[in-house]
Chains A and B, each alone.
Chain A
């Protein structure tokens, strides 16, 4: 009964805050609506310069083929590499394609010829992606040439290896579908770890915690009165995010929806215990905010949200084993993309539960200690 009253008081204060209710609604809308559109790994517009040292029909056909690709835009053809590279320096071009002087002759005589591709890799991701696109077009072009040569005796010697990848689960390699579950995890961290921690430290700062401490309210009642409202809000926002992802992008979890909530509650328990620990050790909201922010940055970058965990160095791969966000993210992506049941996320669920148990114990123990 007292707990119910404490919780209703918490909601009352939450709704009286001029910023919080707006954030609760605006955050899922803007995050789900905006971030997947802008955080895309597809490159739409690549400006390229050409240095054609051959000026043969075959080399010109290659340039036309590149320029005809929807993602490529020809800046100009230059006489020397130096001139072409000036367009990269000046920012007009992202990439240079240089064709060697005897391109056509070599193709005809040896069956192979070389093309140099130089990309602006200030943005490493853009550099490697655009050179990847060029390579694809070049491969396509050489396949075309072989087809045209038909049963030409000189080409029958070459083995033809045609790789046609099939992308399972995310069949179109849609990056948005990959981002949405990760964004849901971010929303949960913000609401369920940040806010209760700030709220408790806020009570310390304002001195209101003194009055609570002299009342017969038990510690667990007090802590629960802080956690439950934010968990409710967090799950509400998660629901909003799921609905928005469906309305805007047509994404609906391939696995069952209730699994998302099971995982979310386990994750919220971990993050809110962490928030409590932080609030126990900090005496100002500024300290608490910085600490939580620190954890959030590390967790996010080590969760596989942006960089796949397998491509991390070994030591950091080991560190991600204690990152709760990693498990939640993995589970969310699995549930969204694969039509699977609980068994598929069982391991992630168990690990989150273990972390929750450890952190929760720590949170309660450290709360006692500061009570002196």
Chain B
């Protein structure tokens, strides 16, 4: 494998009192989908904006396709396709006009790179005379992706592209990213607050408070989760949380939607757990062994008290 397409080395960024990036380092290899996973305020957007040459880092170095983000920003802009977190196309121009506009700003034409966007564009082609502002959320994201691709970039920088998009469109959007990676060899750096999307990436960086907790493949991260993990439910969920936390054998207890995820210390087991909560007057108790998800790993690695992740 050649040189990594994106290299980030000890990058720092501070906004007055807030430290957005506390010295992060990572590399994105050619042709991989790299995910920045973490809650809002973790620093994902700052890092993407630094790589997109929209923001200057306070310290550290970063290169995209071998070019320094500080010195060679003009040349980098030809090689990246950036999709900001907010929909940022011209709402009063039509689908076709937006695409033409971005092609022209990069001194190219739609026809020239038609092959890159064809798969995506066919989803929205029947709306090409519609103004971008009148498209649905999923359609808008597809159009934005087309516009980011129209100058045939080597890297895509996507800032929370699926936030606020319906589940079907989210799935379609990821299918498109896979195709771009597999057919066109485009490297993709994508940020998302959705833990389930982490599993779709080739590698991920779990991000919190301006730091990377870990960088690895999602499979490696979940399988390295050593502790035994149990899902617990009962008829009195509200009281259950306190009761679980008071049990001396519980290592961590987190609320995960309908159930609590509990890790058990060495020397204790799930039968002791069951009798403990039965003692406390709970009925209808369900306890089962489960595999760790990215979110469990995130909770275990992160600063547990402030973690607030979306499932």
Q: Do A and B bind each other?
A: yes
Chain A residues with CB under 8 Å of chain B are 2, 5-6, 9, 12-13, 16-17, 206-217, 372
Contact of A210 among B74, B82, B91, B93 (CB under 8 A): B82
Chain A residues in 8 Å Cβ range of B56: 372
Q: Within the complex, which residue of B80, B87, B89, B107 is in contact with A214, where a contact is CB–CB below 8 Å?
A: B80
Determine if B19 is an interface residue (Cβ-Cβ < 8 Å): no
- Which residue in B77, B88, B104, B105 is a CB contact (below 8 Å) of A207? B88
Q: Pick from B97, B107, B147: contact of A211, CB below 8 A.
A: B147
With both chains docked as a complex, state the minimum distance between the C-beta of B131 and any C-beta of chain A, in angstroms. 8
- Check A2 against B104 for contact (C-beta < 8 Å): yes
The docked-state distance in angstroms from the alpha carbon of A209 to that of B86 is 12
B101 contacts A by Cβ under 8 Å? yes
Q: State whether B53 touches A214 (Cβ < 8 A).
A: yes
Q: Known interface pairs A9-B93, A216-B74. Does A211 touch B84 (Cβ–Cβ under 8 Å)?
A: yes
Q: What is the CA–CA distance of A216 and B75 in the complex, to the nearest angstrom? A: 8
26 A-B residue pairings within 8 Å (CB atoms): A5-B105, A6-B105, A9-B90, A9-B97, A12-B93, A12-B97, A13-B90, A13-B92, A16-B92, A206-B88, A207-B84, A207-B88, A210-B54, A210-B88, A211-B84, A213-B54, A214-B77, A214-B82, A215-B102, A215-B106, A216-B74, A216-B78, A216-B105, A216-B106, A372-B55, A372-B56
- The answer to whether A208 touches B78 (Cβ under 8 A) is no
Q: How far is the CA of A323 from the CA of B88 in the complex (A)?
A: 38
Secondary structure call for the B interface? loop
Inter-chain contact count A-B, CB under 8 Å?
Answer: 59
- CA of A2 to CA of B102, assembled, Å: 11
Chain B: interface residue total (CB-CB under 8 A) = 27
1/0 contact string of B70-114 vs chain A (CB within 8 Å): 000010011010101011111111000100011011110000000
Q: Report A203 CB to chain B, min CB distance, Å.
A: 9
Q: Given A2-B105, A214-B54, A215-B106, output 4 extra A-B contacts at Cβ < 8 Å.
A: A12-B93, A214-B82, A216-B78, A216-B106
Distance between Cα atoms of A216 and B74 in the complex (Å): 7
Assess whether B186 is interfacial by the CB under 8 Å rule: no
Residue in chain A with minimal CB distance to B76: A214
Q: How far is the CB of A35 from chain B (nearest CB, A)?
A: 32
B52 sits at the interface (CB 8 A): yes
